[in-house]
Structure 1
Amino acid sequence: MTSPSRWLLRLALVTVLVGIGSGLSGMVVSWLLHLLEHVTYGFGEGSFLDELPTPSSELKVFALFLAGTIGGFGWWALRKWGTKVVSVEDAVTGKRMPLWSSLGNISLQIIIVGLGASIGREVAPRELAALVAQWITRKTGVTAREAKILVACGAGAGLAAVYDVPLGGAVFAVEILLAELSIATVLPAIATSAIAALVARLVTSPAPLYTVPPLELSPSLIVWSIIAGPVVGFAALGFVVLAKWAGAIRPKNWLILIVMPVIFTLVGVLSIWFPEILGNGRALGQLGFTGTAPLLLILLVVALKFISTISTIGAGAAGGTLTPSLALGAGLGAGLGGFWLLLWPGSSISAFAFVAAAAFLAGSMRAPLTALVLVVEFTGQGQAILVPALLAIAGSVMVGYMTTRRRDWAKTPRGEGVA
C-alpha cells in the first residue's frame, strides 16, 4: 500500500471516529436534557408551548430558582478554582480544552436549560463534541491543520446530532468555524455531521423541530421580504450587541451567587403568564410559525424573550443564542407580517415567520448560508419561498456588515483605507 493511500485511509478512519464521537456527545446531551425535563416538568419530548401550562406556577418558579442557585454556585466555583474554559472557536485554533472545567461547564448548561432557563442548548453538545474530537486527534497523531478541521467538524457534528440537522451542522463548521470552502473542509464536515446525526437518532427524533404548514410564494411576501430584511437585521444586531454587553458585565465574583438566582426567579415569575419565554425558544418559535395568537401578544412575547435571554446571559450563565435568535426572528416575522397583511393580503403568517427567522439568524450569526440551511432543516419547509428568504437574509446581513464597516471607517485615520 502506498504512503498516500495509507494516509488517506488513516484520515478517513479518524473522520469516522470524530463523527461517531460527536454523535454520542449529542446523544448524551439530548438524553440528559430530556431526562431532566421529564423529572422536572413531566415530559421529555414536545415543546414548552404544549407542555408548560400543565405544571403549577409554583413548580415553574421553583425550577428556575433551583436552576439559578445551582448555576450560580457551579459557575462561581468553576471560575474561581477551575482552569479557564476554552471556547469551541479557540479550540479550533489549537488551544487545548481542559477536561474537567469543560465537563463542568457543559453539565451546568444542561442543568439550567433542562430546568427551563431562557437560553439556547446548542453550545453544550458543540463543546462536548469538540472536546471528544480534540482528544481523538491528539491520540491519532494527525497534523495541526487536520486537527483544526476535524475539531471544527466535530463541533458542527455535535450541533447536527442534538437537533438532527446534518447539513446545517456541516455548513456551520465550514462557514463559521473554519471560514474556508474547500474539498479539505467540506468532505469531513459532511461526513462527520451525517454520521453524528445517524448515531444520535438512537435517542433523538428525526422529525423537524417545528411544525410548519406548507409555504407558498406570493408578490406580497417578496415585497415584504425586501423591506423587512434590514429591519430584522437591525433587531438582530441589537440582540448581538446586548448579548455581548451582558456577557461583559456578568458577575465575576461571589455576586453571581445572588444575581443568578434572583434573575432566574424573576424569569420564572414572568413565565406564569408567558410560559413561551422559558427554554431555548422552541415555544416562541412554534407560536410564530403557527401565528395562532393575537399579533400584539406575539410581539410582547418576543420582547419578553429578548429581555429574559439577555438577562440570563448577564446573570452569568453560559449557553447558546442560536435557537433563541431563530425564535425571536419567527415571532418578529409573525407580528410584522400580520400587520403587513392588513395592507397587502395574499400570504401566510407562517411564511413571514420563516423568512424573518432566517434573516434574524443570519444577521445574528453573520452566516447567511448556515442560517438558511438550519431554518429549512428545523422546519422541513422553505423550498417554495427561497427567493424572499434570500432577499431578507441579504438585507439583514448587509445591515451588520455596513455597521461594522462604518465603525471601522470611523476609527481609521483619514486617507487610509479599510480592507
Structure 2
Amino acid sequence: MIRLDTTNPPGNEVLMTDLIAEIFEKEGIWHRVQKTGEGRANLIARIGVDSDLPPILLISHTDVVGCENQSWTHPPFAAVEKEGIIYGRGTVDTKHLTAMQLCAMIALKDEQLDRAVYLLATSDEEQGSALGMPKLVEEYGCLLERGLVINEGGGFCITHNEKPYWLCTVGEKGRIELRVIIEGASGPASFKCENKAVDTFSALLEHLASYPFPLIETDVHRRFCDVLGDDITHPFLKHFYTYNSHDAIILQRYDIGTQVNVLPYRIEFELSLQLLPGRSEAEARAMVDALFADMPVTYEVLRFDPGFASDCNNTFYRTMEELARRQYGAQAIIPVYALGRTDGRFLGNLSCDVYGFSPVTKAIPFETILTLVHQVDEHIDRDSIEQGTRFLTDLVGIIGKS
C-alpha cells in the first residue's frame, strides 16, 4: 500500500481500491468500487449479516499528502523497513489503518456475527473529501446509519502521572468560517492620520486573541476530568482540557497589501470559529455578532459545518477501553475532540458514534505522532501494525457477537 503513490492532488486512489478489491475478491468478501473521477475511487466492503443492530464501520482514507521540498532518509514510496520500523508516506495517515482494518475483515469473515461490518476506504480526504466519503454516504448512507465507527485521529499513548493512557477522539468541533473586511485611511506608513485600517486590524487581533470564551461542561470534558483528575501537568493534556471545553478562533488568511511604506486602506482576512458540538448555525451567527459588536468591520459567513459528539460511556467505548488495558497496558482511554476535521464528520451527522482510535504502541507516543503526520520520514513500527490488527479484530469480534 505504501508503494502505491496516491499523493493528492492528483490522488489516483484507484491504485488502492484495485488492490483492496483484488484481495477481497480472493477472500470471497462482498465489495463494491465507486468511481468518482479520473483515477479517483472509493471502496465499500461487508462481512456479517443484515440486522437491526447498529453496523460496525471501519473507515480510513487512501490518499496521502505530498512530499515536495522534503528531504527523506528513505524514498517516501519505497516502504523501506529498518530494525522493525517501516518508513513511507501514509504509514500513520492512514494506510496503516486501512491495512489493519482489511486484515480484521479477513480474520472475521467466517465468524458468526450478529450484525453487518463495513470497511470504507475513501479518496480525497486530504483535499476536503468532495470525491470521497460524501459520495459513499450519498449512495450507501441507508446502510450506515447509527453505525459504530472506528476512524483515524487517536489511539496514541500519552503519559499522565507516570502512567500510560491512550487518546481516543469522540467527536469533532463545528466551524463557522468568515471573511472580514476593514476599511480606513491609507497613506505613507510614517505619516500620522486618523482611522488607519492597520490600527483597526491590530486592535481587532488583540480583541480576538483575548476574547473570553466561557468554559462549557460537555460530556467529553466531564469524562476527561473524571479520568485524569485535577492534577494535570502534561502540556498536551492541559491543552486538551481547554480544547474540550471552549470554543476558539483560528486566523486562516490575511491580506494587508504589498506596497512598501504605504499603509493599505483595505484589509481583508478570513477566520473560523471552532465550535463545541451542539451549536446550531443560528447560535454560531449570534456568537459572531457578539464577537464583532462595536468593531468597525464588515463580515460575511462563508460556510457553517456542525460538530458532533459520540457516546463515551456505551458498550463499544467500554470494550475499547478494556481491550486497551489488556493489550496495551493502558490505565484508561482519554476522550478528546479531534484536533482537525476527518471523514468521520460525514458519519457523525448520520447518528453514528465515531471513535478515532487507530492504535499504535508506546514506541510512537502522541508527542512523536505530531512530528510524523504530513512530515518528513513518516514511519510506523511493525509491532504497531500487528498489535493494532489484533486489537481491531478482537473489538469487532466482541461487539459483532454481542
TM category (shorter chain) comes to: under 0.3
Larger Cα-atom Rg: 2
Larger helix fraction of residues: 1
Structure scoring higher RCO (CA < 8 A, sep ≥ 6) equals: 2
Larger strand fraction of residues: 2
